[in-house]
Amino acid sequence: MNTIVTNAAPQSRSLFRSIFTRHALYIALLMVLPIALSQGLNWTLSLLADPDLWWHLADARLLFSTGHFIQSEPYAFTVAGQRWVNPEWLSELPFWFSFKVIGLRGVYLVTWLVVCANVLLVYLRSFRAARNADAAFWAAGLGFVLMSVNVGPRMIAFGWAALSLELLILESVGEAAGHEDKRLVWLLPALFCLWINLHGSWLIGMALFVLSIAAGSLRVRMGALEQEPFTPGDRNRLLAALALGWLWSAWGRWPTWVIAVPIVGFFVLCIADQATRLLPNLL
């Protein structure tokens, strides 16, 4: 028995090193991929050619120079003074800070990091689904090919990252066996509260959330495809998170969410979680 245990320990360590080394290699390759193949990150071709970049930097500069959020059109003389709220101010801040510190190199760095984050989130979700690093690597590579048409210093990249996080949470909740894991759904309202200030693609995420609840409420028996519907508690938890996400998104366009939402949200989520657990027993 001692011999078996002694031999098993080195084998487990060797397996861990092998898996860790493969993940590290694939992550490194995926992070180099945008620099090597993306035109938007190629210094000699069309680096920073997106004309919207300078408008976003001007918005961030105006935010810090005036000390308040933009609430009316400050640039175009044809619509000067008309009500306008910048829906992407939070995405503009990393680009502005990096530009102030190290110039265009900072903009390049932020662009590369956001693109890498999106590619690696695809890798993570693929590995969780397939439990195979090779399959996850090729899926992430294909994902980069699809997103490469829009790679550059663009605010939509933050919207992509928020969408990947939403899918990761929904997939984790769908696979969760214990109640503690299913509480991850309460991260979604906070995610939407941030997303509304990152990019207008939050509407796509909200539609996807509704579609996930609708599809998960059905029982499916189609050959190899089998699905059991959500339990009443899971469905109520998702619906409550959806409602909170919508309310926070509608409210979150204003700077008040920075202070109020974390405080109010903590108490609301505690109450909502307990309510969704007790509601099926009361019906």
State the DSSP string of 95-132.
Answer: HHHHHHHHTHHHHHHHHHHHHHHHHHHHHHHHHHHH--
Tally the residues of the chain. 283
Given this model, what pLDDT does residue 4 score? Answer: 47
**Beta-strand relationship, 220-222 and 225-227:** antiparallel
Mean pLDDT of the chain: 77
Rg, Å, the chain Cα set:
23
The predicted structure's pLDDT at residue 283: 42
Distance CA 137, CA 115 (A): 15
Between 256 and 27, whose confidence is greater? Answer: 27
Which range has the worst mean pLDDT, 72-86, 115-129, 165-179?
165-179
- Calpha distance 205→193 (Å, rounded): 12
List all residues 6 or more positions away from 181 whose beta carbon is below 8 Å from its beta carbon.
172, 173
> DSSP 3-state assignment of 16?
helix
Note the pTM of the prediction, 2 decimals. Answer: 0.77
pLDDT digits (tens, 9 = 90+) for 62-112: 988 888 888 888 888 888 778 888 888 899 999 999 999 998 889 889 999
The percent of residues in the chain predicted with pLDDT above 70, rounded, is 74
> Which tokens belong to 42?
């190629």
Percent of the chain, pLDDT > 90? Answer: 22
The residue type at 273: D
Q: d(Cα 170, Cα 211) in Å, to the nearest integer?
A: 11
Measured CA angle at 160 (ends 176, 174), to 5 deg:
10
Rounded to whole angstroms, how far apart are CA atoms 97 and 106? 8
